[in-house]
Structure 1
Amino acid sequence: MKRGTTLFLKIAVILIGIPILAVCLFLVPKIGSFAGELYPDMAYLKWLVLIDMYAAAIPFYFALYQAFKLLSYIDHNQAFSQVSVRALKNINICALTISALYLIGMPLYYLMQQKVDPPGITVIAFIIIFSSIVIAVFASVLQRLLQDAIQTKEENDLTV
């Protein structure tokens, strides 16, 4: 694969991380405060929402780091190696973790939705859960294909 393609993908990975960082810095605290304002008698909801959203950001950035490493492996002609399989496995685990965290936080978002007129909060949470599951399945399929390709390559190396 040409170096320009992987460079483009590395830039895309970085550009994906920047808006999420902005959301974490500016929007998540407002969402947490909003949850606290909706239920003043349950002020701890603010902290639960903040913990859930920031906890989901950690595996997101770890998955971006793994994707960046995977692209570096491709640059160094190590695409068909166990380190690439491990990077895909880590991306799979991160995506499933994000889905699980948002699924656990779903009752919080449902409570928030009950007080808000347009029901967009749970829809956004379901979109995040669904897209994370799609990414996990995709990474799992790529991991399996890469593992099969490595096995085939090793078998061919042994027969020659």
Structure 2
Amino acid sequence: LTVGLTFWFHNHETTTLLFGLFLIIMTMFQWWRDIIRESTFQGHHTLKVSSGMRMGMILFITSEICFFFAFFWAYFHSSLAPNTEIGACWPPIYIYPLNPFQVPLLNTAILLASGVTVTWAHHSLMLGNNKESIQSMILTVLLGMYFTLLQAQEYMEAS
């Protein structure tokens, strides 16, 4: 995959990149298939294996928390103490920020609404109301598509 990305950056050749991506996806699916089969159907997961998987997930979530903490730390450091390379002002010169009370606020409302509709779908499914569950899932998918459309427009405007 790394070699494929390098070829793609320099030569615009995607064959190696697609092959590497295909291999990674196949490895993921087969690994997850084996884990599900071993734990669910064969019952081979001992207490130590289950504990190791839980610890692996905890470490993964911890690494994600550290990544986002570092990301926001860098953002706040740059915005609260801008250095001279960017003109000692925030945002830097010639960068025009979007109004946070327009599309970003609408996107936040859409994300919250989709969380409500997917919870509604889950509760409807648990109560055996399949028609209502399907309707709320369709609404969730429509909200997701609308969110993606607004994000694409926002990225186009910002670039």
Structure-2-length-normalised TM-score:
0.39
Instruction: Using CA pairs under 8 Å that are at least 6 residues apart, name the structure with larger relative contact order, 1 or 2.
Output: 1
Give the structure with the larger helix fraction: 1
